[in-house]
Amino acid sequence: MKRTIKAYDPTIGTPLGDTIVAEPFDRIAKIDGIMIAAAEEETKHEETKSIVRAVGPGVTKVKVGDVIFHSRYAGSPTAINEKPFIVMREHKASGDLFGIYFGNRPIDINPMDDILFVEWEDGTKQFQGTSIMKAGVDLERHYTGIVLTMGPDIENPKLKPGVRVFFNQFCSPERVDYNGKRYAFIREYDALMIIPSRTEMAVLA
């Protein structure tokens, strides 16, 4: 079902400090005149995209009208005038924000802080013409991905777009699905290794 979302609702109230008030939106929606549609298989994953409705004076990275990706556990889910909202903090320590959507595809994302946005390889993935799995290895045991974009606070100069990384299986990577592919947000700290394109790597448990 399509719906149109206004950029600002003055009845929300006045956020304080670095507080962000965001409204979750459907996977098929018209966001301020732009159609955002996702493949059917995406609906089985919890929605982690919202549109910013109000910001406090301490917010510097997002603005009203931005579409943001955030943790599924972000902030406080609440209802204002019977409409669903999420009230969260912008500060990096909160771990709420992952990135800002900027294009026509759900994967057009500018990550926040020290966050990497990676294309998450799976067990049947062919990379540069070479198989990276053995037959029978479960695709969920592969924690490798290609860095697509990265936040401004990444410190290691070896991490850059196009690099293939192995990441921490216990970091709870925030998954994004688009056109049958998996993507994920991970922190720089959880990128454990840079691995060659022809190296196969899968966790054993």
- Per-residue pLDDT of the chain (205 residues), as tens digits, is 333 444 456 778 889 999 999 988 754 344 344 444 444 444 444 557 888 999 999 999 999 989 898 888 788 888 888 888 999 999 876 778 888 888 777 578 889 899 999 988 865 445 445 554 444 444 455 688 899 999 999 999 999 999 999 888 767 777 777 777 888 899 999 999 998 877 776 665 5
Instruction: Give the count of domains, the chain.
Output: 2
pLDDT of residue 156: 94
Q: Full-prediction pTM beyond 0.75?
A: no
**Domain with 55 in it:** 4-106
- What is the CATH number for 189? 2.30.33
DSSP string, 146-174: EEEEE-TT---TT--TT-EEEE-TTS--E
Q: Which are the contacts of 17, defined by CB distance < 8 A and separation ≥ 6?
A: 56, 57, 58, 89
Tell me the C-alpha distance between 127 and 132, whole Å. Answer: 7
Q: Can you give the pLDDT at residue 154? A: 94
Domain contains 203: no
| Length of the chain counted residue by residue | 205
Classify residue 45: in a domain, yes or no: yes
Q: Are 124 and 154 in a shared domain?
A: yes
Residues contacting residue 147 through CB under 8 Å, at least 6 positions apart:
116, 117, 118, 159, 160, 161, 162, 163, 164, 165
Q: Is residue 202 one of the residues assigned to a domain?
A: no
Give the angle 185-189-195 at the CA atoms, nearest 5°: 80
Cα separation, 137 vs 62, whole angstroms: 41
Strand segments, DSSP code E, in the chain are 4-5, 19-24, 29-31, 34-36, 49-55, 67-70, 76-80, 83-89, 97-101, 109-111, 115-120, 126-127, 130-131, 144-150, 164-167, 174-178, 181-187, 191-194
Alpha helices in 1-160 (DSSP H): none
Confirm whether 141 is domain-assigned.
yes
For residue 199, tell me if it sits in a domain.
no
At residue 31, the pLDDT reads 39
Specify the pLDDT at position 82. 83
Q: Give pLDDT, residue 151.
A: 92
Task: Check residue 47 and give its pLDDT.
Answer: 53
